[in-house]
Structure 1
Amino acid sequence: MPTLIVLNPGAGEIQSVETATGFATTLVAGTGEVPDGVVVDKARGVFYWTNMGVPAGSAPGAALTEKTASFHAANGSLERASLDGSGRTTVLPAGSFVTGKQLVADFAAGKLYFSDREGLRVLRANLDGSELEVLVQNGDHTVPEEQRDILRHCVGVAVDPAGGHLYWTQKGPSKGGAGRIFRAPLAAPADPARRDDIETLWENLPEPIDLYLDLGAGEIYWTDRGARPEGNTFNRAPIPAVGEKGVAPTILASEFREAIGVDRDEATGAFYVTDLGGDIREVDPARGIDRLVATLPGGLTGVAVVR
């Protein structure tokens, strides 16, 4: 069975979790800046993660989580380490963006993609952090009224390099039922603040967070931390054709404690979903599996499968 790389900002650690036993070990200690999104580059033997940053006025070393802090300062960053946790390296230094959220990659093209929530953006950079560019810009994060407009906040992200599409979520207010999922061409626009090629695929969702694309099956999956019964769920729907709206999703698992991260074991088809309550669940609808892998002290954000 695979192992997982799990971000645990509540414990200030990045952990490796055995899916067969739930046993957790520390890969990176003292993360300190609320890690949120993670992606594994198996060919190069490394993983990357985004940091949300440290809110102004926070006590040094204080345990910070999504639920206990606000993230309006522009001090987000992106880091890399080997799969054993060694060689921790800064890829994009603190202040390169505001609040780093879900992180995905097109490793064939050497590109990282991630959402910048309070930065109101979706960003792309090379694996070494160079050529940082804005793909979507929902406002000016230096204007407080715009930055605090939660409807503008980008959270989840996914890419379809072959199809040339970028997908992202805007979760809306907490438990607000105003979440949306968008799609746009992957090519960098002339002006990311004035795109006229953005499709709204879903709207009025409880609170969609992280995304996963199964391009072979033509399906999109997402976590949702919104109000029950449609929220705090793991969902699946067909990817809409260009110009079409998404249909109502199928709920594959429910009763999460603020569902956040998701990744898939391509060998078995099983998904692993994390939540802010510290739970990791394995969800495999084809085999009728929905089991608790582990409950870890802290509060979990991103997750990535390693084989």
Structure 2
Amino acid sequence: MGLPLSRNLQQKSTDPDDLRLYFLDNTGNRVLSARSDGSDCTVLVSEQCTGPDGIAIDAARGHLYWTNMGESSRNDGFIMRCDLGGHNITTIVPPGLTHTPKQIVIEPNGGHLYWCDREGMRVMRCQLDGSSIETLVQTGYGSFDQADARNWCVGVAVDYDRERIYWTQKGGPKSNTGRILSAPLNGARRGESPASRCDIDTLFSALPEPVDLELDTASNTLYWTDRGAAPFGNTLNRVCLDDRHASGLQREILRDGFREVIGLSVHPRRNVVFASDLSGSIYRVPLDGRQASVVLQDAGRLTGIAAL
């Protein structure tokens, strides 16, 4: 297990670089940006958001995409896009086509957005312009299945070259019923529906509350945040997917002690992952085990984060 998080809640990191952070304030309904040392914090979007949760950057086109969960009791989630300065806001997936969209990722080679739909109990994708919406995985139907948080799909990661998709089903709060699963990327086999796929693998089970995912495809290493109770909850984790032992995959806890951790943005070449939590903090966690630091705090109820 990693060492406890730094208690020195300094406003700036001791090791800044030139990345810029883009992140979401869920209850404030805002899209924000700051330098990776926590300075120059700016509100990019403060209108039209409803429960923003997942954010992704299309660097080639200069776009930000983010999900809006809407009201969890209603099928009214939607996905929006703007440019990196917060202008030219447009709705990509309108309300009614996804229930409660959570983490979102961009796969530029195939030109798709992928996201998880929590109360919709789905893993979904569409083209970058919002067309061709499809369901890849369906974990339940109706109010009975919807009431079981073990069916809720939350975090997502994509490996285009290996043709795999990964997602979390987080389970109830502090229930240790969370799972990380994987399946072939391009949909169910012939004769199978998204709800009847027989090609789904379970990588981990009995996790506290796995939330967001990110995959470093160069090293085939999967990172994830996990809410829930200590000692394994409120942690930042990773596992090399090529390093499978007789007893299965062995995860490594990089850091613990977060306060309802949600978002992550991994940058192996810079030896850093940024993580955000619902307490309003953004953490800088070196991948080599050095002490983490807080680069921003009291910024809202933070969910998704991305860095460029």
TM-score, normalised to structure 1, is 0.90
- 1:112–1:74 CA distance, 2 compared to 1 (3 A): same
SS for the counterpart of 1:146 is helix
State, as a whole percentage, how many aligned pairs show the same letter: 41
How many equivalent pairs are there? 288
Alignment of 1:228-267 (within 5 A): 228-239=230-241, 246-265=248-267, 267=269
1:136 equivalent in structure 2:
137
Does the CA contact (< 8 Å) of 1:272 and 1:281 recur in 2?
A: yes
Moved more, 239-248 or 272-281: 239-248
SS for the counterpart of 1:177 is coil
Question: Structure 2: where are the runs of 5+ without partners?
Answer: 1-17
User: Matches of 2:215 and 2:307 in 1, distance apart?
Assistant: 15
1:274 equivalent in structure 2:
276
Shift of 1:202: 0.3
- 1:32–1:19 CA distance, 2 compared to 1 (3 A): same
- 1:303–1:83 CA distance, 2 compared to 1 (3 A): same
The runs of at least 4 aligned residues of structure 1 exceeding 4 Å deviation read 240-246
SS for the counterpart of 2:153 is coil
Shift of 1:34: 0.5
User: Matches of 2:164 and 2:271 in 1, distance apart?
Assistant: 23
Shift of 1:289: 4.1
- 1:246–1:258 CA distance, 2 compared to 1 (3 A): farther
SS for the counterpart of 1:194 is coil
Ranked by relative contact order (alpha carbons within 8 Å, sequence separation 6 or more), the top structure is 2
Question: Structure 1: where are the runs of 5+ without partners?
Answer: 56-70
CA RMSD of aligned residues (A): 1.7
Shift of 1:244: 8.1
Q: Give the partner amino acid of 1:92.
A: V
1:64 equivalent in structure 2:
none
Q: For residues 245-302 of structure 1, give each alpha carbon's deviation from its aligned partner in whole angstroms, at most 9, with x where no partner exists.
A: 7423111111111010011235413110001111100111326141101013320000
Does the CA contact (< 8 Å) of 1:239 and 1:246 recur in 2?
A: no
**Residue of 7, 10, 25 corresponding to 1:8:** 25
1:288 equivalent in structure 2:
290
Q: Give the partner amino acid of 1:26.
A: V
SS for the counterpart of 1:16 is strand
TM-score, normalised to structure 2, is 0.90
The question of 1:197 aligning with 2:199 is answered: yes
- 1:50–1:259 CA distance, 2 compared to 1 (3 A): same
The question of 1:44 aligning with 2:61 is answered: yes
Does the CA contact (< 8 Å) of 1:158 and 1:167 recur in 2?
A: yes
The question of 1:297 aligning with 2:299 is answered: yes
1:66 equivalent in structure 2:
none
Does the CA contact (< 8 Å) of 2:254 and 2:289 recur in 1?
A: no
Q: For residues 180-235 of structure 1, give each alpha carbon's deviation from its aligned partner in whole angstroms, at most 9, with x where no partner exists.
A: 00010001224101000000110001110000111211211100011111100000
User: Matches of 1:245 and 1:239 in 2, distance apart?
Assistant: 13
Does the CA contact (< 8 Å) of 2:271 and 2:287 recur in 1?
A: no
- 1:92–1:244 CA distance, 2 compared to 1 (3 A): farther
